[in-house]
Amino acid sequence: MRYIFEKAVDLTHELRNGMPIYPGDPSPSFVRYATLEKNGVNLTKLTLGSHTGTHIDAPRHFIPDGIGIDQISPNKLIGEAYVTDMSSKPIGSAITGQDLRDNLEGHVAEDDIVVCYTGCSEHWEEEPVRSNYTYLTGDAAEYLVSKKVRAVGIDFLSVERFRAPDPITHKTLLGNGIFIIESLSQATKQFVGKRTLMICMPIKLQNGDGAPSRIISVPIRED
């Protein structure tokens, strides 16, 4: 048996002025700093938060002695992923440990990347959803820790309930060395119920708590 890798698909949102952000985060700005006409070169000045757009959370985001984004091994950033369909849950509701157990048992192995497709990405431009999106509970995070996955992804701004007083989901995952991929695009939908090779390439920000990332999914099929 051999595995065949098919055409790669980009799961990353474009970075642009006016793009959706987690409420309260820095507003990104992309300004033409130099132009071919005036300076002989095109150059853009970027101002943005470390969790702008499609991005990865490093343990340092919530764990005092956690590693930074630059210290996550490249071997960890590339791996097999399984995309589970959570879009039947009402937008704004919680994904529980039992929800994951019902959907992941028999599909996920140790060291996999688990991606929850909630359908919220279909409402990426809708402001009300930015504070009322589907999220993972603390016991969902504990279940994923028990499965020894390498990373957890979701197709909206955060895995955590909006402005949760105690960010237990982040702390549980990051505290166990499981990095988090947030704000995956609507393109994730096409991989529901499938396994892919996921390539996660964050900006190598020194001691970074997170960083914008290019996330690529490559379908896997057996021959």
**112 inside domain:** yes
In a domain, 33, yes or no: no
Which CATH number is 57's domain given? 3.50.30.50
In a domain, 35, yes or no: no
Q: What is the distance between the alpha carbons of residues 161 and 54, in angstroms, rounded to a whole number?
A: 18
Residue 101 lies in a domain: yes
Q: What is the pLDDT of residues 182-221, one digit of tens each?
A: 999 999 999 999 999 999 999 999 999 999 999 999 988 7
pLDDT of 92-104, one tens digit each?
Answer: 999 999 999 999 9
Domain that holds residue 202: 3-12+51-222
Q: Does 40 reside within a domain?
A: no
Q: Would you say residue 2 has pLDDT above 60?
A: no
Are 47 and 16 in contact by the 8 Å Cβ rule? The answer is: no
> Could you tell me if residue 45 is inside a domain?
no
Give the count of domains, the chain: 1
**Whole-angstrom distance, CA of residue 69 vs CA of residue 59:** 8
- Do the domain assignments include residue 143? yes
pLDDT digits (tens, 9 = 90+) for 54-90: 999 999 999 999 999 999 999 999 999 999 999 999 9
Q: Is the pTM of this model over 0.85?
A: yes
* pLDDT-derived band at 137, boundaries 50, 70, 90: very high
Half-sphere exposure of 192 (CA within 13 A, CB side): 15
Q: Would residue 197 count as lying in a domain?
A: yes
User: In terms of C-beta distances under 8 Å and separation of at least 24 residues, what long-range contacts does 174-177 make, across chains too?
Assistant: 174/57, 174/58, 174/59, 174/61, 174/62, 174/63, 174/66, 175/59, 175/62, 175/63, 175/66, 176/145, 177/59
